[in-house]
Amino acid sequence: MPQKPQLSAAEAVALIPSGATIAVGGAGAGHALPDLLLEALGDRFRGSGSPTELTFFHPFGVGNQKDRGLEHVAEPGMIRRVVGGHWSLAPTMARLAEEDAFEAYCLPAGVIVQLYHAAAAGSPGWMTHVGLQTFVDPRLQGGKLNARARQDLVELVERDGKEWLFYPTIPVNVALLGAWTADTDGNLAMNGAPAPWHNCAMAQAAKASGGLTLAVVREIVPAGSIHPRDVRTPGCFVDALVLDPSLGQTFQTDFDPTYCGDARKTDFEDFPFGLRKAIARRAAMELEDGAVINVGFGLPDGVVAVAREQGLAGRIQTTIEHGQFGGVPAPGLEFGAVWNADAIVETGHMFDFYQGRGVDQTYLGFLQIDRAGNVNVSQLGGKIVGVGGFIDISQKARKVVFCGALSVRAEVEIDDRRVRYVRRGKPKLVDEVAQITFSADYARRTGQQVLYVTEAAVFRLGEREIELIEIAPGVDLENDLAPQLGFRPSAAPEIRTMPEEIFRP
């Protein structure tokens, strides 16, 4: 095979025409993100005023919440449309969407990954249950985030007497990838990365449309140096290589061998006692032997830390949407990497699992919960957050456990196994959520078990609304709990006291 051109980042992005739809690979804060290409593309626009009318298409968050990732290209006049699964890691891009600077959409991350496969296969689109009765459903918002977003990207269809959502294929003109190693023929390997992501599907999608694939790589080796089983994207789908020796596993970590299976991590830090740990402990009480679970970003990943400390980790199978089975998910902006994974697959395969059979249990966060039991994680106070894999995962899980603080900016003390509020917070349990990311009606229809765990109380999804089933020791229903709720929940016939032991160091 002819050797692939090795270009500078500026030379590579000079090949991108105005009006292109650009698929951005990787995820989160530097996980196989083509950051050098995004930076060069932003510099090109700021220096020359082109390219313009671009569409960016990405399943996960892309940035570090400050100045990287999509922040490089968050330029008014450069963008026509963004279709993103998650937005909060690129705050300027989210703000421009809120200001109607371009058309803005949010679709589930797994759906976007499947749309890469659909484009690669020349399929007209992807039909799935994912998104029904959430804000992605065209009967609600159809995934539209602002007034500029007028085109329908989601259709409601019926087949075999059931409702489905149909997502038409979005052709990919340019795929921007991040890979660990390339050979001079353009074969890409992810051997040192925390996951292989969805690079091959993106490159195939670009090839199917006659487009362009540009790959940023940490190293380039002679042709034939990569074992064929390690090649994740064949070189025939890659048009040019850009060398970036500073490309790390994440923006924070250059290389940790325990992220990619080259070593085992044994020196885990203790999970410090506090409000977060108390909530994670109560949520972890729902773990079942042999369960395949998913944990979300933020507080829910503490459930795995609790399981590890209590000797339960070997009795469950943890997964996250980025492709890892087993192990311990890294917290914070490192989320997407996993220490000591048992298996690492491409994101498309993981989403096949989530969207098909579904996990036994998923542990997820929340921004708002309403009286009916709906949950919002995607938009609050006019601020766009996005969903990532939240909808893909939650709609097929047998049991869903939402974990989070009862209210915003409360001051809470845990003393002598009792919870005490020094200052009450603003309710997160409200009469009606700002946006439906998890549909209580859909959960009832499919027979899901749903719990809502906070430090003060535990609620469950009832036939019509959520029900209070547990209250923390030291918390008074009238003086502590009720003032921090936006509605009066119904109560189970017997309200239990949350176990005292979860509130001790």
Mind telling me the catalytic residues?
Answer: 321
Q: Is the pLDDT of residue 346 over 80?
A: yes
Q: Is the peptide bond before 51 cis (omega within 30 degrees of 0)?
A: yes
Span 30-42, average pLDDT: 97
Confidence at residue 416, expressed as pLDDT on a 0 to 100 scale: 84
Percent of the chain clearing pLDDT 70 (strictly above) = 100
Confidence at residue 14, expressed as pLDDT on a 0 to 100 scale: 98
Written as six digits, the tokens of 53 are: 């009318």
Confidence at residue 86, expressed as pLDDT on a 0 to 100 scale: 97
How do strand 399-403 and strand 449-453 relate by DSSP bridges? parallel
Q: Which domains does the chain have, with CATH numbers?
A: 9-243 (3.40.1080.10), 275-503 (3.40.1080.10)
- For all residues of the chain together, what is the average pLDDT? 97
Confidence at residue 261, expressed as pLDDT on a 0 to 100 scale: 96
Q: Which helix (H) or strand (E) is 157 found in, with range? A: strand 155-159
Q: Is the pLDDT of residue 1 over 80?
A: no
Instruction: Report angle CA 77, 82, 85 to the nearest 5 degrees.
Output: 155
Terminal-to-terminal C-alpha distance of the chain: 62
Q: Is the pLDDT of residue 211 over 90?
A: yes
Span 199-213, average pLDDT: 98
Q: Is the pLDDT of residue 378 over 90?
A: yes
**How far apart are alpha carbons 57 and 23 in whole angstroms?**
5
Written as six digits, the tokens of 295 are: 């944990």
Q: Return all residues near 444 (Cβ < 8 A) that are at least 6 apart.
A: 461, 463
**How far apart are alpha carbons 378 and 386 in whole angstroms?**
4
Q: What is the pLDDT of residues 250-273, one digit of tens each?
A: 999 999 999 999 999 999 999 999
Region for 342 from its dihedrals, namely left if φ exceeds 0, alpha if ψ lies in -120 to 50, beta otherwise: alpha
User: Do 215 and 200 form a contact (C-beta atoms < 8 A)?
Assistant: no
Q: What is the pLDDT of residues 66-111, one digit of tens each?
A: 999 999 999 999 999 999 999 999 999 999 999 999 999 999 999 9
Rg (CA), the chain: 23
Confidence at residue 414, expressed as pLDDT on a 0 to 100 scale: 93
Confidence at residue 298, expressed as pLDDT on a 0 to 100 scale: 87
Span 214-222, average pLDDT: 98
Q: What is the pLDDT of residues 419-478, one digit of tens each?
A: 999 999 999 999 999 999 999 999 999 999 999 999 999 999 999 999 999 999 999 999
Confidence at residue 3, expressed as pLDDT on a 0 to 100 scale: 95
The CA–CA distances, whole Å, from 221 to 6, 34, 102, 224, 230 equal 12, 19, 41, 8, 13
User: Do 286 and 361 form a contact (C-beta atoms < 8 A)?
Assistant: yes
Q: If 0-12 CB within 10 Å is exposed, 13-18 middle and 19+ buried, where does residue 220 land?
A: middle
Residue length, the chain?
505
Confidence at residue 260, expressed as pLDDT on a 0 to 100 scale: 97
